[in-house]
């Protein structure tokens, strides 16, 4: 599935010191398991913690085929990519974050101060060693590249170092992404961190935003929208199975490539012309050219000269993070609805 990020560069090799540390952690875990077996816990399950049980735990989560049982909430978290960090901050979990990486758009205003207080480990995906240096007990990845095996950051590598991992469900191989996935992601993270009530309140708030925006544009003619992510010989655009398509629909629009049977895909410029979009939604993210560069390119194509959106220079900008599973999509519905139907918000 499309990752939305440039291919990361190879990190430096893991130092011998860190390799020894990882091995030591793994050995310690093995020793603990053997000790548990000697004490009569020979069922093959993790031995019970001697400390008092934490209310609401244990919690078992199946994530992208990896099943993890949490005996207590993670205490030291590294997020790789911006949207997992924003989700955690929205849940009031600032005190658990010991590092984040790969900011790719402006942070939501009400989360900006807290986000800036979290140490930034890298401008792109950090090396495995850099993550280990932060001493996390949990790593939360936003794109599939967070756990790229060829970069030494596989989930197995983290598990061998005694670190739990979680990958945004959008990258679990599911070929359909919806607003429901956003709400489910929030509730799952809320359960892992022992704050299910906060998660429920956050979901209720986000649902309310979506419902109010959808009600404001109800009955208005659906505005034809073309999503431009990138591409020159062809347009790389959002397909019918993307969350972007649902955001457009809820905002009172219609993705002109909703019939594209994928999350993302290519469309010819001839197809763009034939579908006559009235608005072009530009996806903005690091590494794919600025919004102004994308506008300039689209306006320079002679073939698009008579497309209504080009003729009227009607563009809207959506940060890519606003179309990914996290806290942003409901805000995107609200903002896009105002852009598509300004008359309904006066």
Q: Where are the domains of the chain?
A: 16-35+53-167, 221-339
Q: How confident is the model at residue 287 (pLDDT cuts 50, 70, 90)?
A: confident
Among the listed residues 131, 18, 149, 129, the one whose alpha carbon sits nearest the alpha carbon of residue 81: 131
Assess contact for 262 and 252: CB atoms under 8 A: no
What distance in Å separates the CA atoms of residue 227 and residue 181, rounded to the nearest whole number? 21
What pLDDT digit, counting tens, does each position of 240-275 carry?
A: 999 999 999 999 999 999 999 999 999 999 999 999
- Does 211 sit behind a cis peptide bond, omega within 30 degrees of 0 on the bond before it? no
Mean pLDDT across the chain: 88
Assess contact for 197 and 317: CB atoms under 8 A: no
Other beta carbons within 10 Å of 319:
22
For residue 77, pLDDT beyond 90: yes
Assess contact for 162 and 25: CB atoms under 8 A: yes
State percent of the chain over pLDDT 70. 85
For residue 117, pLDDT beyond 90: yes
Superfamily of domain 16-35+53-167: Nitrogenase molybdenum iron protein domain (3.40.50.1980)
Residue for token pair 């929205």: 90
CA angle at 198 for the pair 336 and 101, rounded to the nearest 5° = 65
CA dihedral 240, 246, 251, 254 (to 10 degrees): 20
What pLDDT digit, counting tens, does each position of 22-55 carry?
A: 443 443 334 333 334 333 333 333 444 445 678 8
**Which 8-state DSSP code applies to residue 163?**
-
Assess contact for 104 and 82: CB atoms under 8 A: yes
pLDDT given at position 173: 86
What pLDDT digit, counting tens, does each position of 183-205 carry?
A: 999 999 999 999 999 999 999 99
Count of CA atoms in the C-beta half-sphere (13 A) of 215: 6
Burial class (CB in 10 A: 0-12, 13-18, 19+), 196: middle
What distance in Å separates the CA atoms of residue 41 and residue 21, rounded to the nearest whole number? 27
Fold entry, domain 221-339 = Rossmann fold (3.40.50)
Assess contact for 195 and 91: CB atoms under 8 A: yes
State percent of the chain over pLDDT 90. 80
pLDDT given at position 43: 32
pLDDT given at position 51: 58
pLDDT given at position 174: 79
Tell me which of 113 and 175 has the higher pLDDT.
113
pLDDT given at position 53: 79
pLDDT given at position 52: 63
Four-residue CA torsion sign, 251, 174, 131, 13: negative
Q: How far is residue 334 from each of residues 203, 214, 341, measured CA to CA in Å?
A: 15, 8, 11
For residue 15, pLDDT beyond 70: no
Sequence-separated contacts (24+) of 65-73 with Cβ below 8 Å? 65/172, 66/155, 66/165, 68/164, 68/166, 70/164, 70/192, 71/46, 72/194, 73/192, 73/193, 73/194, 73/195
Q: Do 16-35+53-167 and 221-339 fold alike per CATH?
A: yes
Burial class (CB in 10 A: 0-12, 13-18, 19+), 111: middle
Least confident of 24-28, 84-88, 253-257, 331-335: 24-28
Tell me which of 28 and 309 has the higher pLDDT.
309
For residue 334, pLDDT beyond 80: yes
What distance in Å separates the CA atoms of residue 198 and residue 346, rounded to the nearest whole number? 33
What pLDDT digit, counting tens, does each position of 155-166 carry?
A: 999 999 999 999
Compute the chain's Rg from CA coordinates.
Answer: 22
pLDDT given at position 251: 98
pLDDT given at position 54: 86
Cβ density class 234-273: b for 16+ within 10 Å, e for less: ebbbbbbbbbbbbbbbbbbbbbbbbebebbbbebebebbb
For residue 61, pLDDT beyond 60: yes
**Which 8-state DSSP code applies to residue 230?**
B
For residue 10, pLDDT beyond 50: no
């Amino acid at each position: 599935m499309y990752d939305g990020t440039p291919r990361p560069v190879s990190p430096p090799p893991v130092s011998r010191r860190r390799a020894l540390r990882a091995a030591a952690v793994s050995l310690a875990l093995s020793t603990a398991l053997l000790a548990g077996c000697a004490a009569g816990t020979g069922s093959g399950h993790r031995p019970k913690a001697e400390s008092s049980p934490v209310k609401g735990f244990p919690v078992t989560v199946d994530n992208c085929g990896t099943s993890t049982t949490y005996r207590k909430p993670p205490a030291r978290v590294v997020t790789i990519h911006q949207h997992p960090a924003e989700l955690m901050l929205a849940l009031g979990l600032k005190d658990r974050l010991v590092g984040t990486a790969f900011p790719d758009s402006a942070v939501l205003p009400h989360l900006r101060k807290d986000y800036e207080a979290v140490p930034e480990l890298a401008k792109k995906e950090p090396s495995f060693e850099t993550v280990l240096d932060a001493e996390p007990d949990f790593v939360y990845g936003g794109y599939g590249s967070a756990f790229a095996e060829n970069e030494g950051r596989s989930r197995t590598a983290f598990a061998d170092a005694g670190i739990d991992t979680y990958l945004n469900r959008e990258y679990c191989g599911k070929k359909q992404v919806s607003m429901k996935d956003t709400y489910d992601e929030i509730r799952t993270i809320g359960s892992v961190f022992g704050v299910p009530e906060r998660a429920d309140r956050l979901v209720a708030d986000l649902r309310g935003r979506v419902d109010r925006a959808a009600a404001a544009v109800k009955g208005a003619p659906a505005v034809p929208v073309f999503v431009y992510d990138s591409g020159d010989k062809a347009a790389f655009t959002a397909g019918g199975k993307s969350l972007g398509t649902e955001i457009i629909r809820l905002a009172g629009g219609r993705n002109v490539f909703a019939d594209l049977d994928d999350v993302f895909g290519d469309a010819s410029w001839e197809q763009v012309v034939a579908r006559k979009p009235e608005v072009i939604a530009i996806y903005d993210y690091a590494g794919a050219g600025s919004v102004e560069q994308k506008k300039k390119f689209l306006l320079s194509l002679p073939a698009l000269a008579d497309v209504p959106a080009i003729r009227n220079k009607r563009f809207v900008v959506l940060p890519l993070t606003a179309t990914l599973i996290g806290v942003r999509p409901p805000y995107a519905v609200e903002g896009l609805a105002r852009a598509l139907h300004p008359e309904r918000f006066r």
